[in-house]
Structure 1
Amino acid sequence: MSADLRLILFDVDGTLVDSQAHIVASMTRAFEALGAEAPSRAETLSIVGLSLPVAVAQLAPAHSVADQTALVAGYKEAYMQIRSEQGSAQSSPFYPHARAVLDELAAVDHYLLGVATGKSRRGLDALIAGHGLERMFLTQQVADHHPSKPHPAMIEAALSEMAVAPAQAVMIGDTTFDMEMARSAGVAAIAVDWGYHDTEKLAPLADHVVHDFRDLPGVIETIWETKT
């Protein structure tokens, strides 16, 4: 008898790849192009994971809708330019051991891997191509088609697409948005401490906090063992 299918969903920025320099530089360029004071690094990283229009609205609440629209466009342009100049491997490198763990999890027959990210479809496609992940993620939920995190729509769509129950899924992320999204969707939440939100804020929302990518497979299995 084959094992039940299990879905493992990953956030991308701050969880799989360290894109903070790329994100901060892109946001800084966007604000400077508008002639506005750029947010601090901490302010920019605090909104990573949100859909871009929502993130910009939080960073520039006093600006007009037209200005916020211009900032979104400016960010996208700057992000693509930096990626073109540097390539994904340099602008958004994997965290230590991330690729090896992805390969390990993908090799388990009853595991299904996916992503739920605030990136656009174009942004995710470029990152996947840049890192050679074309066959890694069976479900890919992006900001273009869903409300911003922490709304549970991304996870709910992934569960439906993969025909997996919430009890047989986990969400792995580095922000409170990821943890709240997982809670709202009724799936287990694993926080990583190498990303962009403080561990102190993540821990109360997470089922587990992981400090090393290599610990993930064991933590995931432990979660499912307690549910069966």
Structure 2
Amino acid sequence: MTADLRLILFDVDGTLVDSQAAIVGSMTAAFDKAGLTVPARQTILSIVGLSLPQAMERLAPEQDGGVRAQLVQGYKDSYRDQRLAQGAAHSPLYPGAMEMLEVLHAVPENLLGVATGKSKRGLDGLIEAHGMERLFVTRQVADFHPSKPHPSMIHAAMDEAGVEPANCVMIGDTSFDMDMAAAAGVAGIGVSWGYHKPSALASAHTIIDTFDQLPDALAQIWT
């Protein structure tokens, strides 16, 4: 690989797709099935980006490991059933997301990837539903890594792509994404339309409000 290659990593939920209805719905189903009080909507959205076991630790700290494991499985089952029933409508892309992915993908030096708290099954299903299979050279998921903000996902993505930290950027909507980028020694670009307020993205190099601002943000980092 040449040093000129650049790796652009994307978070998924809250960054590329608006999955809040799906996430809240599946979390509600999981807590209902377990006979527990469902957390408030904003509380649920605050944990998006974490791996499910870590998310359940925050949402149900008073429960033991067995109950939290049941919540994880209940969430997975509900999310899978919804995704299979609804297809791409289950987690719609944000306006401009696909267009910007195509623009970035068309640049020979750019390599696109994903670093997400989703499972491999969930990510693969989403990518297939939206016809994005050809866009990403690396897909890092919760199945094989510690939860964000641990830098393992970014380190693995850089190794797979053959790219150094100076030529890698992480794009995401949560503090977990930006803290993960900082821990990995790469620049982080925060997006304002996701599940954490822009004020929470303290580790971000910059924050964008629309996808069409992304090329300029990348150019500033790599100039």
Contact 1:170 1:189 in 2 (8 A): yes
Q: Which runs of 5+ in 2 are unaligned?
A: none
Q: Which runs of 5+ in 1 are unaligned?
A: none
**When the two structures are superposed, what TM-score results if normalisation uses the length of structure 1?**
0.96
- Is residue 223 from structure 1 mapped to residue 221 from structure 2 by the alignment? yes
Q: Which residue of 1 aligns with 2:69?
A: 69
Q: Which residue of 2 aligns with 1:125?
A: 124
Deviations 1:124-148 (A, max 9, x none): 0000100001111001100000000
Q: Which residue of 1 aligns with 2:143?
A: 144
Matches within 5 A, 1:93-104: 93-104=92-103
Q: Which residue of 1 aligns with 2:35?
A: 35
Equivalent pairs counted in the alignment come to 222
SS in 2 for 1:102: helix
2-structure distance, mates of 1:35, 1:44: 17
2-structure distance, mates of 1:127, 1:86: 11
2-structure distance, mates of 1:101, 1:3: 23
Contact 2:3 2:163 in 1 (8 A): no
Q: Which residue of 2 aligns with 1:26?
A: 26
Q: Which residue of 1 aligns with 2:207?
A: 209
Contact 1:18 1:93 in 2 (8 A): yes
Deviations 1:83-107 (A, max 9, x none): 12211x2110010100000000000
Q: Which residue of 2 aligns with 1:44?
A: 44
1-structure distance, mates of 2:138, 2:83: 24
Contact 1:120 1:144 in 2 (8 A): yes
Following superposition, the deviation at residue 3 of structure 1 comes to 7.3
Equivalent residue letter for 1:221: A
State the 4+ residue runs in structure 1 displaced beyond 2 angstroms: none
SS in 2 for 1:62: coil
Deviations 1:130-177 (A, max 9, x none): 000111100110000000000000000011111111000100000000
Q: Which residue of 1 aligns with 2:110?
A: 111
Q: Which residue of 2 aligns with 1:60?
A: 60
Contact 1:174 1:193 in 2 (8 A): yes
Give percent identity, aligned residues only.
58
SS in 2 for 1:205: coil
- Is residue 5 from structure 1 mapped to residue 10 from structure 2 by the alignment? no
**When the two structures are superposed, what TM-score results if normalisation uses the length of structure 2?**
0.98
1-structure distance, mates of 2:3, 2:159: 19
Q: Which residue of 2 aligns with 1:190?
A: 189
